[in-house]
Structure 1
Amino acid sequence: MASKASSKKTPPTLTVSSPGLPPQPQVNITHGNSRISAVLPTGESVEIMLYGATILSWKDTAGNEKLWLSEGAKLDGSKAVRGGVPLVFPVFGTDASHTETSKLPQHGFARTTRWEFLGKSTSESSAVSSMDGGDNSVKLDFGLSHSNLSAEARAAWPYDFGLIYSVTLSRDGLATSIVVRNESEGESGKGFEFQTLMHTYLRVNDIADVSVEGLESSPYIDKVAVKTTTSPAEKLSITSKTDRVYTPAGGPSKPVVVSEAGKKKFSIVRDNLNEVVVWNPWKDGAEEIGDFTPKTGFKNMICVEAGAVKGWQKLEAGETWEGGQIINC
């Protein structure tokens, strides 16, 4: 008698899979370990040169460049970069009357010294945005101390200090901040004074169509006319060589807005950086600057620089100071 086939059915195997991680920012060390680049999952990008911790490029999700970089900029570490965002420390310009920094070159040594890359961190604004497009931002940290300086710079500024410079790329903009610490200790520790500034070259299509809002009715030093005065109660337009140090009447938290053809292009909010420098060399100035290329490039840039450059910041042994800016588009 033939046996009957079993009517029992084998239950299907149930496979449980874990959901994949959301996309992560990509951070790479390139150009022979001399540059750090970061790209968000949504396409925004930034590139920083370790020489000077200088930001060379900042692009939005469509690949549009937000910073102006001279075609003649030296990118081999032979001199400060013309364009992007060079970092000024510990003196703005030169000051022969200030004993501590009188022996330093123009704008100090931070923009002409190789920094250390300290690493990255990422953040999410919400679970929904994380699921939708991955991490919202990436922060890149860079460090500089007395030991990183050349023998010449150490002799000219013999103070024990530490700097941490952070560049944060997000979907909405770019933030930069600097922490300054006096690393000397005890009663024998030496205090020091400093100035700092983020020398931001913003890219525009035509300077003739640009206006700057947020500097109205504010005191400023005009370095071209060599005078101190107060700005009128109207937006600033650039029509000639401009080099001004403003102390905006609205304070650091009130945005300084750069518009082009009546449309907002950049909005800058500062933290503990009380001054804003506005600079454009115009035609004659561009001709005089060897690495400013093309010479017509003044039409496509405006420097709006957040800084602490009017007077001096003082740090005693063990003290720390911090300042920064956020640029939104």
Structure 2
Amino acid sequence: MAAGKPSVKLCKGINGLDKVLLREARGSSAEVYLYGGQVTSWKNIHGEEMLFVSSKAFFKPPKAIRGGIPICFPQFGNHGILEQHGFARNRVWRIDTNPPAFPANSASNTFIDLILKPSEEDFKIWPHSYEFRLRVALAPGGDLMLTSRIRNTNTDGKPFSFTFAYHTYFSVSDISEVRVEGLETMDYLDNLKERERFTEQGDAITFESEVHKIYLSTPTKIAILDHEKKRTFVLRKDGLPDAVVWNPWDRKAKALADFGDDEYKYMLCVEAASIEKPITLKPGEEWKGRLELSAVPSSYCSGQLDPQKVLQG
């Protein structure tokens, strides 16, 4: 693909929802819906889609968009009076016209800054004042970077606590041909067994049934190896100690109205998260959580890429 100029465009997406298109000079691209502050597409320089979005996703408020990278805030999961995974993923974000300064060495000039603040309705169900700033950026090499900054702006002196996840849906060729490396020997909470705690036993995580695990105190790098596509996704994360691995498998997939019956075969969620120990911010304090995704050609069966080197590199 011929090189061009980087571009950032606001346009209309599905059902007339506003979205921002990011295109890097070498041809990689991403799209971000203001509804949910949600990345729904990330393509490499060859135009290949890296993220999974269900063909049955609603793209209609108040339902969250099924796929891409939903943001779980101020909670992961389903507890108390807040809706499943919190409310950030089904609120309309605004473009942030006055974002905080980023380090001068931020390599990307292709990015969008979004901001979410509580509405009066939100305040009734979660009575805290905050500013959630999100930067979505494409690096020159096509890597996708998400940086979240959450600040406590309460004027009553009260701290607040939250849990968080980038609920990333990766597009894979066949779930039975995929393995995840970097989580071996880690402790995890099994959501299918009332969050009972176990220790991962396998050399790598492979998939043959439903899985929903929260791995604890995980490395900053995790690799997803797709044997059939000869592609390895590498997640690099900062400020996010936990990692969720989820695939609904066939029975659960059939029960989801916004998910195709067989689509579980073509997706895998590996989520950078902070769940076990909630983050607490006093007024004026800010938390930052960063995720960087890259996709590299690989063929672990022929030894062209040692996944351990990916994780250490």
AA of the residue aligned to 2:129:
D
1:127-138 matches, cutoff 5 A: 137-138=109-110
1:26 Cα deviation from its structure 2 partner = 1.3
Aligned to 1:7: none
AA of the residue aligned to 1:29:
L
Compute the TM-score of the two structures, normalised by the length of structure 1: 0.81
Question: 1:106 and 1:159 mapped to 2: Cα distance?
Answer: 18
Aligned to 2:137: 168
1:119-130 matches, cutoff 5 A: none
Q: Secondary structure at the match of 2:192?
A: coil
1:189 paired with 2:157, answer: yes
Question: 2:211 and 2:285 mapped to 1: Cα distance?
Answer: 36
1:104 paired with 2:74, answer: no
Question: 1:286 and 1:33 mapped to 2: Cα distance?
Answer: 26
Q: Secondary structure at the match of 2:50?
A: coil
The 3 A distance-change label for structure 1 pair 71 and 264 is closer
Question: 2:170 and 2:179 mapped to 1: Cα distance?
Answer: 13
Contact 1:167 1:175 (8 Å CA) reproduced: yes
Aligned to 1:275: 242
Q: Secondary structure at the match of 1:224?
A: helix
1:1-329 matches, cutoff 5 A: 23-31=4-12, 34-95=18-79, 102-118=80-96, 137-146=109-118, 149=119, 151-170=120-139, 171-185=141-155, 188-226=156-194, 227-249=196-218, 251-252=219-220, 255-261=221-227, 263-293=230-260, 295-329=261-295
1:233 Cα deviation from its structure 2 partner = 4.8
1:76 Cα deviation from its structure 2 partner = 2.8
Question: 1:297 and 1:272 mapped to 2: Cα distance?
Answer: 31
Q: Which sections of structure 1, spanning at least 5 residues, go unmatched?
A: 1-21, 96-101, 127-134
Contact 2:8 2:111 (8 Å CA) reproduced: no
The 3 A distance-change label for structure 1 pair 107 and 309 is same
Contact 1:183 1:318 (8 Å CA) reproduced: yes
Task: Name the % identity.
Answer: 32
Aligned to 2:301: none
Question: 1:297 and 1:181 mapped to 2: Cα distance?
Answer: 37
Q: Secondary structure at the match of 1:208?
A: helix
1:291 Cα deviation from its structure 2 partner = 0.4
The 3 A distance-change label for structure 1 pair 109 and 271 is same
Question: 2:104 and 2:191 mapped to 1: Cα distance?
Answer: 43
Question: 2:74 and 2:104 mapped to 1: Cα distance?
Answer: 34
Aligned residues: 285
Contact 1:215 1:248 (8 Å CA) reproduced: no
Compute the TM-score of the two structures, normalised by the length of structure 2: 0.85
Question: 2:264 and 2:231 mapped to 1: Cα distance?
Answer: 20
1:64 Cα deviation from its structure 2 partner = 0.2
Question: 1:61 and 1:248 mapped to 2: Cα distance?
Answer: 33
Question: 1:193 and 1:123 mapped to 2: Cα distance?
Answer: 27
1:240 Cα deviation from its structure 2 partner = 0.3
Contact 2:240 2:272 (8 Å CA) reproduced: yes
1:23 Cα deviation from its structure 2 partner = 5.0
Contact 2:167 2:271 (8 Å CA) reproduced: yes
1:281 Cα deviation from its structure 2 partner = 0.2
